[in-house]
Chain A
Amino acid sequence: MRVAVLHFLGTNCERDTHYALQKAGAKVQMLAHTEAQLPQKCDLVVIPGGFSYGDYLRCGAIARVAPIMEAVSRFADQGGRVLGICNGFQILLEAGLLPGAMRRNANLHFISRYQPMRVVSNDNRFLGKLDEGQILTVPLAHAEGNYYIDEPGYKALQQNNQILLTYCDATGAPMGVNGAVGDIAGIRNEAGNVFGLMPHPERAVDAITGSTDGLTLLKSVLEG
């Protein structure tokens, strides 16, 4: 599995993501925002977290016009798999590769803590190795993770099994975290090849840091 990890000015999770994906078994190549092409052999593109372009204008809005993003859009249009984590998720929303938008967290706080989330659907090319209802606990770290989509859009997400992860408590019961519609933590596009999530699986790959649930998730993503 060959993975390209992108980094923009202000991305800050690319090394963690590189480390975590390697640990999960991937061959990882880093790619700067200035590149116009993805590597010829690339099975998965990962857009990691951070604060691309200082979150200026809107989170992810500037990154989506970087040269590499045209290549990512073409790759996705041709069915290539793309994963966006946190700011990467925001970039995918701004690029129109995923539906909806991010708002400031409802309580205005930057949320930074371990947070359980529930696997809502495993009938997809990302979470196929996990069980529906499985609870994964990984770190959250964001100020703009308050996912919004209008009512018809939300219904469509539900009908197409596009909601992959929702926030929950330790028992799996729904839990409001940041104000997100439907407590959504992660969604996929309709075609099923683009996946974005706010939590940081790359930060939960070593037991010494408190959880290896992120590694479990990334392994499933790699096995696609």
Chain B
Amino acid sequence: MKVTLNVFLKEGILDPQGKATAHALEVMGFEGVNGVRIGKQIVLDLACSDEVSARAEAEKMASDLLVNGVIEEYTIEVAA
């Protein structure tokens, strides 16, 4: 079962990569860029038989290793 985690710095935590990229877009002439946030995507292939257990397993992995809750937040998508 495929589980996708999208990990971003929490709102309010400075994202220097996003800020630099937003600045570059402005320099290139793109207007109205209110913000850029850069995160990472982690795609897990899990041997779980149902969505509920796959989600639970991935959430445990996120809190134990994949995401640093001090500065990061994430969303989770489970594909059947």
Could you list which residues of chain A lie within 8 angstroms of chain B, going by C-beta atoms? 57-58, 61, 65, 94, 100-101, 103-108, 146, 148-150, 179
Interface CB pairs A-B, < 8 A, 30: A57-B65, A58-B68, A61-B65, A65-B65, A94-B68, A100-B70, A101-B68, A101-B70, A101-B71, A103-B9, A103-B13, A103-B14, A103-B16, A103-B71, A104-B16, A104-B17, A105-B16, A106-B14, A106-B16, A107-B16, A108-B16, A108-B17, A108-B20, A146-B14, A146-B16, A148-B13, A148-B70, A148-B71, A149-B70, A179-B16
CB distance from A67 to the nearest CB of B (A): 15
* Interface of B (DSSP majority class): mixed
The digit string for B49-80, where 1 denotes a CB below 8 A from any CB of A, is: 00000000000000001101011000000000
If A103-B71, A108-B20 touch, does A57 touch B14 (CB 8 Å cutoff)?
no
Knowing that A100-B70, A103-B13 are A-B contacts, what are 18 other residue pairs whose CB atoms are under 8 Å apart, sorted by A's residue number? A57-B66, A58-B68, A94-B68, A101-B68, A101-B70, A103-B9, A103-B14, A103-B71, A104-B17, A105-B16, A106-B16, A108-B16, A148-B13, A148-B70, A148-B71, A149-B70, A150-B70, A179-B14
Q: Tell me, in angstroms, the Cα distance from A159 to B70 when the chains sit together.
A: 20
A150 surroundings in chain B (CB, below 8 A): 70
CB distance from B33 to the nearest CB of A (A): 18
Top 6 A-B pairs ranked by shortest CB distance?
A101-B70, A101-B71, A108-B16, A104-B16, A101-B68, A106-B16
Q: Tell me, in angstroms, the Cα distance from A101 to B70 when the chains sit together.
A: 6
Q: Tell me, in angstroms, the Cα distance from A118 to B70 when the chains sit together.
A: 26
* Interface of A (DSSP majority class): loop
B16 surroundings in chain A (CB, below 8 A): 103-108, 146, 179
Q: Tell me, in angstroms, the Cα distance from A103 to B16 when the chains sit together.
A: 9
Could you list which residues of chain B lie within 8 angstroms of chain A, going by C-beta atoms? 9, 13-14, 16-17, 20, 65-66, 68, 70-71
CB distance from B2 to the nearest CB of A (A): 19
B66 surroundings in chain A (CB, below 8 A): 57
Q: Tell me, in angstroms, the Cα distance from A11 to B39 when the chains sit together.
A: 26
Q: Tell me, in angstroms, the Cα distance from A100 to B13 when the chains sit together.
A: 13
A107 surroundings in chain B (CB, below 8 A): 16
Q: Tell me, in angstroms, the Cα distance from A148 to B14 when the chains sit together.
A: 10
B65 surroundings in chain A (CB, below 8 A): 57, 61, 65
CB distance from A112 to the nearest CB of B (A): 17
Q: Tell me, in angstroms, the Cα distance from A196 to B65 when the chains sit together.
A: 21
A179 surroundings in chain B (CB, below 8 A): 14, 16
Across the interface, name the chain B residue whose C-beta is closest to A108. Answer: B16
CB distance from A109 to the nearest CB of B (A): 10
CB distance from A48 to the nearest CB of B (A): 22
